[in-house]
Chains A and B, each alone.
Chain A
Amino acid sequence: MYPTNVSWDWLCNAARGEQFLREAGWERSAEPPAAEVLQESLQEARLRQGPVPGSGEQGGGLPYPEIGNEEVEEINQLVAPVERFFNEEVDSSKIDREAKIPPETLNGLKELGLFGIMIPEEYGGLGLSNTMYARLAEIISLDGSIAVTLAAHQAIGLKGILIAGNEAQKQKYLPKLASGEHIAAFCLTEPGSGSDAASIQTRAVLSEDGKHFLISGSKIWISNGDMADIMTVFARTEVLVDGVKKDKITAFIVERAFGGVTSGKPEDKLGIRGSNTCEVSYDNVPVPVENVIGEVGGGFKVAMNILNSGRFSMGSSSAGMIKKLIAMTSEYAATRKQFNKSLSEFGMIQEKFALMAINAFVMESMAYLTAGMMDRPGLPDCSLEAAMVKVFSSEGGWICVSEALQILGGLGYTKNYPYERYVRDCRILPIFEGTNEILRMYIALTGMQYAGKILTAKVKEMKKGNIGTVFSMVGKKLKDTFRSSVDLGLTGKDGVVHPSLAESAKKMEQNIYLLGLTVESLLYRYGKTIVDEQLLLKRVADVLINVYAMTAVLSRASRSISIGLRNHDHEVLLANTFCTNAFFKNNYLMTQLQKHSPENDDANIKKIAREVLENRAYVCSHPLERTY
């Protein structure tokens, strides 16, 4: 069932890249009973892990998450009306033009229950899992404004109550939020504070009778800020820590009805124009003490958890959007004729379609793998994986949307077609829910921290010049050079990957092996000061994202081919193409990470930036200038 003949020590070296493999189920099971226990527990949960009975030996144990048949039916029943609603009732161009979602559209969404997708049924929500949420997000994303409005409401706005609120708070607020009678917002960002919690200025002061907190301050860029009735607000409170007074962040549930809440003029945005974004100010808003989410002073963790859990759905959203764009543009490419040939016959146009298909496939695979992992019992922490999904899909989405527009050329640039709206809407993806830059830092540093814990002792030995360690290192390196390829046991007789994907799996194994070595050398060279080496961390993050994407597509395609899904050969094709591509990219990135690599021109990049920033302008003389 699981490969048992491999040494997995290397993987521990390979940063936390190992963990998602393990979570994806590709782990050597040291003790089979444990695996069985895990399997039973998984079967108890909605997801079935492990072998599908009767699907053959090869790849039978593929761990790509699955949902039960009843659930498939349930989701299909749910998806159909939503899809119909979005196709027939939603006028996206009007929403974009008028910068407002009409009330009847909002009512339609409420009737469909889309305001409480993940709220448990006992509070009046649909009670769907992360996987099902991701499925619905595919359709909701067809209109960016609605998607953002709904996400601000339930992915972050009411998430605090859902994951950290107590029973009374849930009873009080969730039913009305689930029905859409109340709309939620998440208020964290301030003029002087993005991801820097230390610069939050909004303050909550306990009133004299000790029953209320008085909140004062202002928050900016609050989605749904104008129409939200319930807000999750983060404010600074004074807390006694070990007898010393300290300022700590606390999360509050603030109702607009408490009074003192004012919202500013809606921002005029590039995209997602129908969603409402504005500044919200609080002037001594009295909030009862029982409205504190979690503990007083525990708001930082709450904020982090909310943000971490909200990101995974962007993968399926982007995939849904790209799938729709493929359908629309291929129609055009097939009918438009130039030089007596249809556009679809031109190689450069074909390339764009292949790109879109691969991207959609990878995003989908990553999103549902992550969602499946999140649905496992015990609330596993998948924030790293979710961040990787977010970074990959927001950037891939941007490229695909722009290529789709390119296929139509000038037509795509006009407002007669929806492409320019997609391009504008899509631009927000790399920015919100944590910019991609800061998420890359998170991805890379989480990996480094994990690898560092394991490797510190070894690196220290090496630095001491311990002959034994050095010799064993040299020996290992020599052995590696003689061995033709790295074998981590993904393929072969006991492998978990289908033979038609064996090549790609080998490539991934090589990547992971090299990543292990690279991370080790980075730790050797930089130690804890790696935090300041953002250019290196960016590459580490990119490699990790690619490896995770490879994991997802291999796992998904193996499953598809093993259980004989329709068009599984196409999936294999996509998976192999993506893996080849990612393999080269990874190799290039990791070559850059080597010391004195000619490809690495970080020093130059930094110097250029420094000179430009010193002048705060473009430095070069104009080419038409002369000195004599």
Chain B
Amino acid sequence: MKCARCLLQLQRLRPAGQSARSAAQYGALPQSPYASHMLHNTQLQVLRRFHGSPARVKNRPVPAEFINEDDKKRDKSLVAHDDLFERVDKESRTKATFNKVVDVFIKADVRRRGHVEFIYAALKKMPEFGVEKDLVVYNKLLDVFPKEVFVPRNFIQRMFNHYPRQQECGVQLLEQMETYGILPNVETKVLLVQIFGEKSHPMRKYQRLMYWFPRFKHTNPFPIPQQLPEDPVDLARFSLTRIANDLDAAVTVYQLPCTDITESGELLTLPHIVGIQGPSQMELLAKHNPSRPVFVEGPFPLWLRKTCVHYYVLRADPLPPEEKVEEPYDPERCLVYPLQLDLDLDRDFGDEESFDVEDLDEGPVFAMCMTSQGDQATLNQWISGLQQNNPILGQVPTLFRLNAGPKELQGVGDTESEHHRKPEQETQREERQPEEEPEVLEEERPRRSHGMKQ
């Protein structure tokens, strides 16, 4: 049980980026656990190969000069593997080069010396190589672990935390997959079984991932595609249909973005204007009292994954209660049955199904639009476009209540997005972690007791 808790604490200790440090720590005191394992591993031929004494290093074959260079450095420091990745050009950091580095490591030493450090370093470098969402790469990384070595052989091993560093490293790898929302596959499972055995911590982690991930896959009833449309018009179309959530609503492109050169030689950029309006909104607008103004308001932000778009609405104030008119009951309306009963009885309290919530009348929204340029002139163009189908807009006073345009906002967002997002994510993670803690502990408890029984 202590081992499990240790493992957990270790996991918590390492939020991001200091894997190298921790690896160094582990590297500093390898002797004692190794020695103790050596005792009962001596009879195992397979294992002996891996746990060979430092004295045998000189007998090691020297396959490539690449490794030779590496060797020199490793003598000095254990951050060498980080270096391995660092050596790849900033420009050419791709999946192919990442795989190459891993291949180099695998081929370098048949004993895979320092594989834990290597994997930590690799995990850290994955986003830089743009492979943080690639399952194949994770499996390849997992493949770096030597097989069958860490599988517990007897009940005592099984009871205690067998090869904690390696197990923890495996868990860390799976955790990174979890962070990026990558679902492991059967290959991952096979590798984990080969490396750590059926009931190891990484295996448990895998099982937990497989339990929750599929269940949460469709929790969002309004999924956002991984790849958002690039074209601003398409993006606007997508966002507007998403906000309106009305299958009848029609998207109209009032103006396509284009750049023109005027006669005087000036560069003229026309912003795109995309609007949406449903038939029920049209109906509402047609009924609108022309003496009351309608408002164009905005911009309001809408976040789609990591992009922020802005939209504008055309709305009116809610009707004051004295102006609300209920349609009078017309007994000569339905040809077959009475639409109202002439009874003096109301619904019984016990069958009242409406909840007593404070109903705040927000006023109708008649239409929405998105544009890249939120000034009054552009929005006026939208309103005049709307007027074709909603003639009443010609009589109604239209007021523009615009906040600071999205232009600066977006400009800031574009340049700072990288900086901005990082801390945001981190704060999110920090917030989330304390919440997760009790949950994880809850999760652990039954498993531990289960382990004890065995």
User: Are A531 and B333 in contact (CB-based, < 8 A)?
Assistant: no
Q: Given A442-B337, A627-B217, are A528 and B332 also a contact pair (CB < 8 Å)?
A: no
Q: Given A616-B247, A627-B217, A627-B218, are A438 and B336 also a contact pair (CB < 8 Å)?
A: yes
Chain A residues within 8 Å of B215, by CB? 627
User: Are A195 and B346 in contact (CB-based, < 8 A)?
Assistant: no
User: Are A527 and B345 in contact (CB-based, < 8 A)?
Assistant: yes
Among A197, A627, A628, find the residue whose CB has the most chain B CB atoms closer than 10 A.
A628
Contact with A along B346-378 (1 / 0, CB 8 A): 111011000000000000000000000000000
User: Are B347 and A303 in contact (CB-based, < 8 A)?
Assistant: no
Chain B residues within 8 Å of A529, by CB? 346-347
Chain B residues within 8 Å of A627, by CB? 213-215, 217-218
User: Out of B336, B347, B351, which one reaches A434, CB within 8 Å?
Assistant: B336
Among A438, A439, A527, find the residue whose CB has the most chain B CB atoms closer than 10 A.
A527
User: Are A452 and B350 in contact (CB-based, < 8 A)?
Assistant: no
User: Are A456 and B345 in contact (CB-based, < 8 A)?
Assistant: yes
Least Cβ distance of B422 to chain A in Å? 30
* Complexed CA–CA distance, A144 and B343 (Å): 42
By a beta-carbon cutoff of 8 Å, the part of chain B in contact with chain A is 183, 185, 210, 213-215, 217-218, 247, 330, 332-348, 350-351
Chain B residues within 8 Å of A248, by CB? 332
User: Are B345 and A528 in contact (CB-based, < 8 A)?
Assistant: yes
User: Out of A188, A198, A438, which one reaches B337, CB within 8 Å?
Assistant: A438
Least Cβ distance of B182 to chain A in Å? 11
Of chain B, the residue at the smallest CB distance from A438 is B336
User: Are A249 and B351 in contact (CB-based, < 8 A)?
Assistant: no
* Complexed CA–CA distance, A249 and B332 (Å): 9
19 A-B contacts, Cβ less than 8 Å apart? Answer: A195-B336, A197-B335, A198-B330, A300-B335, A434-B336, A439-B337, A441-B336, A442-B336, A445-B337, A449-B342, A452-B342, A460-B344, A523-B345, A525-B351, A531-B339, A627-B213, A627-B218, A628-B210, A628-B214
Contact with B along A511-545 (1 / 0, CB 8 A): 00000000000011111111100000000000000
Chain B residues within 8 Å of A303, by CB? 335
User: Out of B335, B338, B347, B351, which one reaches A195, CB within 8 Å?
Assistant: B335
User: What is the interface of chain A mostly: helix, strand, loop, or mixed?
Assistant: helix
By a beta-carbon cutoff of 8 Å, the part of chain A in contact with chain B is 188, 195-198, 248-249, 300, 303-304, 307, 434, 438-439, 441-442, 445-446, 448-449, 452-453, 456, 459-460, 463, 523-531, 595, 616, 627-628
Chain B residues within 8 Å of A616, by CB? 247
User: Are B339 and A456 in contact (CB-based, < 8 A)?
Assistant: no
Q: Given A248-B332, A628-B210, are A527 and B343 also a contact pair (CB < 8 Å)?
A: yes
Chain B residues within 8 Å of A452, by CB? 341-343, 345
Least Cβ distance of A307 to chain B in Å? 7
* Complexed CA–CA distance, A300 and B332 (Å): 6
Least Cβ distance of A462 to chain B in Å? 10
Least Cβ distance of B353 to chain A in Å? 9
User: Are A525 and B213 in contact (CB-based, < 8 A)?
Assistant: no
* Complexed CA–CA distance, A529 and B349 (Å): 12
Chain B residues within 8 Å of A531, by CB? 338-341
Least Cβ distance of A541 to chain B in Å? 10
* Complexed CA–CA distance, A184 and B108 (Å): 99
User: Are A448 and B335 in contact (CB-based, < 8 A)?
Assistant: no
User: Are B218 and A527 in contact (CB-based, < 8 A)?
Assistant: no
* Complexed CA–CA distance, A282 and B334 (Å): 24
* Complexed CA–CA distance, A527 and B342 (Å): 10
Q: Given A523-B345, A528-B345, A628-B210, are A304 and B338 also a contact pair (CB < 8 Å)?
A: no
Q: Given A463-B348, A525-B348, are A445 and B341 also a contact pair (CB < 8 Å)?
A: yes
Chain A residues within 8 Å of B330, by CB? 198
* Complexed CA–CA distance, A463 and B334 (Å): 32
Chain B residues within 8 Å of A528, by CB? 340-346
User: Are B348 and A195 in contact (CB-based, < 8 A)?
Assistant: no
User: Are B336 and A525 in contact (CB-based, < 8 A)?
Assistant: no
Chain B residues within 8 Å of A448, by CB? 341, 343
Chain B residues within 8 Å of A526, by CB? 347-348, 351
